[in-house]
Amino acid sequence: MSHGIPRNGTAGGTPPGHVPTPRDGPVSDGAATGTPRPASGARPRLSDIDRADSSPLANALYRRDRRILDIVGEALESDRVMLAYQPVVQAQANDRIAFHEGLARVLDETGRIIPAREFMYAIEETEAGRLVDCLALRRGLRALAQEPGLRLSINMSARSIGYPRWMREFERGLQRDSTVAERLILEITESSAMLVPELVVHFMAQLHARGVSFALDDFGAGYTAFRYLKQFHFDILKIDGQFVRGIHAQPDNQVLTQALTSIARHFDMFTVAESVEAAPDAAWLAEAGIDCLQGNYFGAPTVSPPWKEPWPGRARA
């Protein structure tokens, strides 16, 4: 059961149509990775893609990213995309969960679970990034339908706004269970939102009307123009972990976090501190008035739905 998060506010070129997913059959490498597929039908080789910089470091980075693209493409083809769930707890009552965040994970060919931080940077601007967003939404909506007391946040890129398959996944989820919208939180990173702010504003207004809430993720790490904050109408502001880790002993980060919290309060946004890893940090954040805390101190992400197990919680630090 989730507690303590206010309901949403009262806010506001189309890509080509059908995009294949595992349900439609195998996804080609061109679709999954955004790179051209050779006429022979073989996987793209390093030599198939021109590179301006052929230094050893550039080649090493290229090979690493190429490998990541291949792993994600294969995972999409085999439907090896899942969510790992992490609790977000109330700062003043650590034994009460406000909601869970569903974080994208892929399985490589050996069954190893790969977290989003290890692949999202490489696929963000490719078709694979859109497909991962779609599958994450599908998994999240299914979990919400299966657990009526669950509130769940799902990450998405602003690049997926207007992507036909993403909206089809959303509509299918609401057709199965109309209550999922009011329990769904969509997280959009600050940097992603600022790519197309006008489009984000319109998208949020449409889905706010359906009952969906929105969180501005990684706030402080990007470059949000403050004039957009009142137009976006985000319900939740998540303070980036770079300001949170070790905050109890870092006066500069304390001042910055207090400033970010003040901004959130001014725009009537709920605050969540990310990357809380230690009791002294949790205690300082709670004293500073942060609403909710998230991090490994309260529970690491797990692919096993944690709401099916008793929640031990943490005593107030």
Q: What is the pLDDT of residue 80?
A: 94
Q: What is the pLDDT of residue 245?
A: 97
pLDDT over 80 (residue 150)? yes
**More confidently predicted of 9 and 125:** 125
The alpha carbons of the chain give a radius of gyration, in whole angstroms, of 20
pLDDT, tens only, 184-223: 999 999 889 999 999 999 999 999 999 999 999 999 887 7
Domain at 81-308, CATH homologous superfamily: EAL domain (3.20.20.450)
Give the whole-angstrom CA distance, residue 113 versus residue 307. Answer: 21
- Alpha-carbon dihedral angle through residues 101, 107, 112, 114, given to the nearest 10 degrees: -50
Strand-pair partners of 238: 272
Cβ contact 83:105 at 8 Å: yes
Hey, which bits of 63-115 come out as E strands?
A: 81-90, 93-107, 113-115
Q: Where are the domains of the chain?
A: 81-308
pLDDT, tens only, 248-307: 999 999 999 999 999 999 999 999 999 999 999 999 999 999 999 999 999 999 999 999
- Measured N-to-C along each axis, helices 127-146 and 164-176 cross at an angle, to the nearest 10 degrees, of 10
CB within 8 Å of 197: residues ≥ 6 apart: 225, 228, 231, 232
Q: Is the pTM of this model over 0.85?
A: no
pLDDT, tens only, 22-45: 334 434 333 344 444 434 444 343
- The whole-angstrom distance between residue 198's C-alpha and the CA centroid of its chain comes to 20
The share of the chain scoring above pLDDT 70, in percent, equals 80
